[in-house]
Amino acid sequence: MIPKGEVLRMEKKEYAKRVENASPGSPLLKNCLNAFAVGGLICTLGEGLFTLYSHFGAPEKEAAAWVCITLIFLTALLTGIGVFDKIAKHAGAGTMVPITGFANSMAAPSVEYQTEGRVLGTAVKMFTIAGPVIVYGCSAASLYGMIYYFFFRG
């Protein structure tokens, strides 16, 4: 019989071990291969676009900007029509790491929070996922810029 008034029957550490054994891990190899393939495809598409825009006479910097704009547009479109998350489910880091991930992280909440209004819904919530990337991205860039400015500018 179980003694009455027991508090916890197992040590938390012991339970954590049980949880680890019972929980299947993510399929790492499959995820990596998918990410490699899809991420590679997106980058190839980017290169193709770059060649295309250069072919039509865009200077290098401008062509690169147009590539970003095109990928962002495509991501926002695919997010809006509900396709992007279905690709990303399999692609993982493959869609997350390129600029597509960033674009999706802003487009998705914009769609989701429309119901709370254009200002307090869409506009405020648009940055819920991308916000930290912007904050720490800008901070890192500023820091790097200062180090470069003070120590390495010839």
Partner 1 sequence: MNRRGKYVVTFPSLPTVISTAACVGKTEGEGPLAEYFDIVNENDGVGSSTWERAEAALVKQAAGLAIQKAGLKTKDIDIAFAGDLLNQCTASTFGLRETEIPLAGLFGACSTFALALIMASVAVDGGLADKALAEASSHFCSAEKQFRYPLEYGGQRTPTAQRTVTGAGAAVIAKERDGVKITHGMVGRVTDYGVTDMANMGAAMAPSAARTIADFLNDTGSRPADFDMILTGDLGSVGSSLLNEVLREEYGFDISRVHADCGNLIFDAEAQDVHAGGSGCGCSASVVCSYILPKMQRKELRKVLFAGTGALMSPLTALQGDTIPAVTHAVMFCS
Would you give the binding string for partner 1 spanning residues 32-71, x where CB under 8 A is met? ----------------------------------------
Backbone angles phi and psi of 129, in degrees to 5: -100, -40
Rg of the chain over Cα atoms, rounded to whole angstroms, equals 23
Contact region with partner 1 (CB under 8 A), list: 39-47, 52-60, 94-102, 144-152: 94-102
In angstroms, the Cα distances linking 73 to 22, 26, 48, 77 are 42, 31, 16, 6
Is residue 2 classed as helix, strand or coil in its secondary structure?
A: coil
Cα-Cα-Cα-Cα torsion 38, 43, 48, 54, nearest 10 degrees, comes to: 160
Q: Is 1 in the site for partner 1 (CB under 8 A)?
A: yes
Among 19, 28, 29, 119, binds partner 1 (CB under 8 A): 19
Among 42, 46, 63, 79, binds partner 1 (CB under 8 A): 79
Q: Is 85 in the site for partner 1 (CB under 8 A)?
A: yes
Given a contact cutoff of 8 angstroms between Cβ atoms, the answer to whether 35 and 93 are in contact is yes
- Binding residues for partner 1, rule: CB under 8 A, are 1-2, 4, 8-10, 12, 15-16, 18-19, 22-27, 31, 79-80, 82, 84-85, 87-89, 91-92, 95-96, 101, 104-105, 107-109, 111-113, 115, 129
